[in-house]
Amino acid sequence: MFVILALVGALSNPYLVSLMTIVLLFTFLGQSWNLMLGIGGQLSIGHALFVGLGAYSVGVLDVKFGISPWIGLLLGMFVAGSVGAVLAWLSFRFEVRGIYFALLTIAAAEFARIMFSGWEFVGAMQGLFFPAPTNAMDMAMLRGDARFYYFVALALAALGIAGTELISRSYLGYVWRAMRDDEQAARALGVRTFRHKILVIAISAAAAAVGGGVLALVQGSIFPDSIMGMGLSVDVLVGPVVGGLGTTFGPLVGSLTVIPLNHAMSALGDSLRIPGLNNIAYGVVLILVVWFLPDGIWPAIVRLCKAIQVPWRVWLPQPRKAEE
């Protein structure tokens, strides 16, 4: 699958390259969100907070001080991870959990958005602009043409999928899924759910920050309303929900479905002069998926392959079952 995606980047036209860059970035962001809810059982509807913190960490260091985005990404991971951990600690310390924790994530993201909107040093509402793109590739400053960013996004998506798979197979995967399914039962088996919830949220937040930092570089600018807004939080979670919650490939399949559809419908809407057609299509797809494939597209593909006896074990990693 990644070979195909790599070829897409190398061969196809600029529009497809930039579209696929976004698809892959949202695959990675969706993966971070999926880790938190699909495996850790903690719902966030404010992931834009972490995405935004990552974007601003890269943006401020690069634009204001000329410091490499690599450092910015590390700073973003640290900042977002810490904010996530503190948010989780405060929340769970005072028994705010489940849907109330999700509300808290929205509140925190909105708080941050408003704060950054009024903060002159980071550009306030006028935003931050990266230096104009060049065609010369510069690994140290992570600058290059659209194709360069495509491969950065591809590497990131691959890293996200590999990382999720690795975590799933480690003891964290077992412990987190136990905690997700039944916190009381997990605690009775000695799982220290308090610290594991904080850990999964911190890791998810740090990953989201990396995605946010790269997203900012790709877009070449940062505006608080788009990078920290509710809209972005929703975009992050639609991929994994449509693709398959808690599955390794769900976010990729979901992003591949939703984002091109969104763009196509948006273009169609423009030519037919029906503004908002993309949003209608979005809604219809969501309803169809929830209605017919409530556990997402990816598990349905796996079921289909089993049903028609494709030797899917050969070419697909098996979803979570014991190895022996």
Partner 1 sequence: MTSLLEVRNLSRSFGGLVAVNNVSFALGAGQITALIGPNGAGKTTCFNLVAGAMRPTSGQVFFEARRIENTPPEAVCRMGIARTFQIVRPMRDMSVLENAMVGAFSWTSSVGEARSKAYESLESVGLAGKANASTDQLTLSDRKMLETAKALSTRPKLLLLDEVMAGLRPTEAASVVRVLRRLAETGLTILLVEHVMRIVMEVASRVVVLHHGAKIAEGSPAEVVADPKVLESYLGTGFHA
Residues of this chain that bind partner 1 (CB under 8 A): 169-171, 174-175, 177-178, 181-182, 184-193, 246, 320-322, 324
CB of 220 to partner 1, least distance (A): 41
Q: Would you call 261 exposed, middle or buried from its count of C-beta atoms within 10 A (0-12, 13-18, 19+)?
A: middle
Q: Which is nearer to partner 1, 52 or 246 (CB)?
A: 246
CB of 318 to partner 1, least distance (A): 11
CB of 242 to partner 1, least distance (A): 19
Other beta carbons within 10 angstroms of residue 196's beta carbon come to 20
CB of 244 to partner 1, least distance (A): 12
CB of 246 to partner 1, least distance (A): 7
Q: Which is nearer to partner 1, 147 or 320 (CB)?
A: 320
CB of 167 to partner 1, least distance (A): 12
CB of 304 to partner 1, least distance (A): 19
CB of 196 to partner 1, least distance (A): 10
Q: Which two tokens stand for residue 195?
A: 């610290």
Specify the pairing of strand 221-222 against strand 128-129: antiparallel
Q: Which is nearer to partner 1, 177 or 263 (CB)?
A: 177
Q: Which is nearer to partner 1, 60 or 175 (CB)?
A: 175
**SS3 letters across the chain:** CHHHHHHHHHHCCHHHHHHHHHHHHHHHHHHHHHHHHHHCCCCCCCCHHHHHHHHHHHHHHHHHHCCCHHHHHHHHHHHHHHHHHHHHHHHHHCCCCCHHHHHHHHHHHHHHHHHHHCCHHHCHHHCEECCCCCCCCECCCCECCHHHHHHHHHHHHHHHHHHHHHHHHCHHHHHHHHHHHCHHHHHHCCCCHHHHHHHHHHHHHHHHHHHHHHHHHHHCEECHHHHCCHHHHHHHHHHHHHHCCCCCCHHHHHHHHHHHHHHHHHHHHHHHCCCCHHHHHHHHHHHHHHHHCCCCHHHHHHHHHHHCCCCHHHHCCCCCCCCC
Q: Which is nearer to partner 1, 163 or 269 (CB)?
A: 163
Q: Which is nearer to partner 1, 273 or 321 (CB)?
A: 321
Q: Which is nearer to partner 1, 81 or 299 (CB)?
A: 299
Q: Which is nearer to partner 1, 142 or 301 (CB)?
A: 301
